[in-house]
């Protein structure tokens, strides 16, 4: 068996069908944006091998809980001690059969391991190396440690969002930097590089900066500042809380509703249904905003959240309920679109034998058959991969005996 068909007759689940079928990805990341990127690639049909550190050798890496990153859906696993020269050489043998290598070490680590881009390119002239870091491979912050909140902070996102009760920047309820600024950016860059390679481009090193991705996510506001010099932040314009037509309001039962009535026709519909017709012509009147908000708040407080949803949501008002995660899990819209699926493990691992998870929900992904069959938690594919890559049997045996692969 080779690295290009590892799902055949093996104890790991088959890959997804999709436009990336046949693409092989070696993923050196365990958590964070790079893992989000390869999650996307796997759901588009790529064959992703998670190449982790050998358990028990050196510092134990952070291992995500059983449900994280879709519970390893469609992913195979393998362990290499890349600090060992023999194991690193064996990993290079896998690179010769792969299309993409994804890593999230700090800048310079791959070079110190003897696995920098030049080395990978020599092994495979068509390889795509995607390095996903907080701040990129260069610049004064390149070696800084960080997490989602840090990238949202330096990219302007926190400053452009409604302050917390104490006036300070908020803490996001989702890992926007990791998922979108980093993970989606990396996945898009890899797919673009694959298209470029098919058109004759050589190997490429993708320098994915999560902070750069957040900068792009915040670019509507930043571009305005760059072009005009105006101070831009929360409450500056219609999508950052300046007007009552774009806000949240509490209902009688304590539930909340989100209002996004930007277009005048939607705002007019909302005013009529709330009994606030007097404000239809004052949508963008700054002086009137406190009074409009007060009247809207008073109106919303007269009925329960779902009663208002029944009246407003289908009436071209751009009103939706603010759903808790419990409610999201049972939401009829998501369920109707097959967004929540059941996953099943052969052994349960650290979690239950079967559990629900978000499915392959992005456009162009093929929905998985249910239940989604996850691979055994204690099975690795290292021996199969090395043999398929042409590594001699005695070399493979030596690597296992020395404990530098598993």
* CATH number, domain with residue 111: 3.40.50.10540
- Are residues 130 and 19 part of one domain? yes
Mode of pairing for the β-strands spanning 204-209 and 128-133 = parallel
Active-site residue, from 178, 212, 247, 295? 178
Q: Decide if 400 contacts 54 (C-beta within 8 A).
A: no
Average pLDDT over the chain, rounded to an integer: 92
Q: Which residues pair with 76 in a beta bridge?
A: 49
Residue 54 lies in a domain: yes
Least Cα distance to 256 among 309, 198, 213 occurs for: 309
H or E element in which residue 111 lies: helix 109-112
R_g of the chain, CA atoms, integer Å: 25
Structure-block tokens of residue 309:
């949803």
* CATH number, domain with residue 255: 3.30.1540.10
- Are residues 201 and 256 part of one domain? no
- Are residues 386 and 290 part of one domain? no
* Residue 389: Cβ within 10 Å count: 20
Domain that holds residue 278: 238-321
Using alpha carbons only, what angle is made at residue 310 by residues 309 and 313, rounded to the nearest 5 degrees? 55
Q: Is 392 helix (H, G, I), strand (E, B) or coil?
A: coil
- Are residues 386 and 309 part of one domain? no
Last residue of a domain, one of 261, 292, 321: 321
Q: Is 377 helix (H, G, I), strand (E, B) or coil?
A: coil
Active-site residue, from 147, 253, 284, 304? 147
304 is a catalytic site residue:
no
> To the nearest whole percent, how much of the chain has pLDDT over 70?
96
* 13 pLDDT more than 60: no
Residue 2 burial by CB count (10 A; 0-12/13-18/19+): exposed, middle or buried? middle
- Are residues 258 and 388 part of one domain? no
Q: What mean pLDDT is predicted for residues 192-210? A: 95
* 234 pLDDT more than 50: yes
Flag the least confident range among 3-17, 46-60, 293-307, 355-369: 3-17
Least Cα distance to 127 among 3, 251, 303 occurs for: 3
């Amino acid at each position: 068996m080779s690295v290009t068909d590892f799902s055949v007759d093996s104890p790991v689940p088959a890959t997804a069908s999709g436009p990336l079928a046949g693409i092989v990805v070696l993923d050196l990341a365990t958590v964070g944006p790079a893992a989000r990127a390869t999650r996307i690639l796997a759901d588009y049909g790529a064959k992703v091998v998670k190449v982790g550190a050998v358990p028990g050798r050196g510092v134990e890496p952070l291992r995500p809980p059983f449900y994280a990153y879709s519970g390893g859906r469609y992913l195979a696993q393998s362990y290499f001690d890349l600090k060992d020269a023999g194991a690193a050489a064996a990993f290079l043998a896998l690179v010769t059969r792969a299309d993409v290598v994804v890593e999230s070490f700090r800048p310079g680590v791959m070079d110190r391991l003897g696995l920098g881009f030049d080395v990978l390119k020599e092994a495979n002239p068509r390889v795509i190396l995607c390095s996903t870091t907080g701040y990129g491979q260069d610049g004064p912050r390149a070696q800084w440690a960080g997490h989602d909140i840090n990238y949202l902070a330096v990219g302007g996102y926190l400053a452009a969002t409604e302050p917390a009760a104490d006036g300070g920047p908020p803490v996001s309820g989702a890992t926007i930097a990791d998922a979108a600024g980093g993970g989606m950016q990396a996945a898009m860059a890899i797919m673009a590089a694959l298209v470029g390679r098919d058109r004759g481009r050589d190997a490429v090193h993708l320098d994915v900066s999560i902070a750069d991705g957040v900068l792009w996510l915040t670019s509507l506001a930043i571009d305005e500042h760059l072009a005009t010099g105006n101070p831009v932040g929360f409450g500056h314009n219609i999508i950052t809380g300046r007007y009552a037509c774009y806000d949240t309001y509490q209902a009688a039962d304590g539930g909340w509703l989100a209002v996004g009535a930007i277009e005048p026709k939607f705002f007019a519909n909302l005013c009529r249904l709330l009994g606030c017709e007097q404000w239809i012509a004052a949508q963008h009147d700054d002086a009137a905003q406190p009074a409009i908000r007060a009247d809207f708040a008073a109106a919303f407080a007269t009925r329960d959240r779902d009663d208002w949803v029944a009246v407003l949501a289908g009436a071209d008002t751009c009103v939706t309920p603010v759903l808790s995660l419990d409610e999201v899990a049972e939401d009829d819209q998501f369920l109707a679109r097959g967004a929540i699926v059941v996953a099943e493990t052969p052994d349960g691992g650290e979690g239950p034998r079967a559990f629900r998870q978000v499915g392959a929900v992005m456009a162009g992904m093929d929905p998985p058959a249910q239940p989604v069959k996850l691979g055994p938690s204690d099975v690795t594919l290292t021996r199969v991969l090395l043999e398929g890559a042409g590594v001699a049997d005695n070399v493979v045996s030596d690597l296992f005996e020395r404990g530098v692969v598993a």
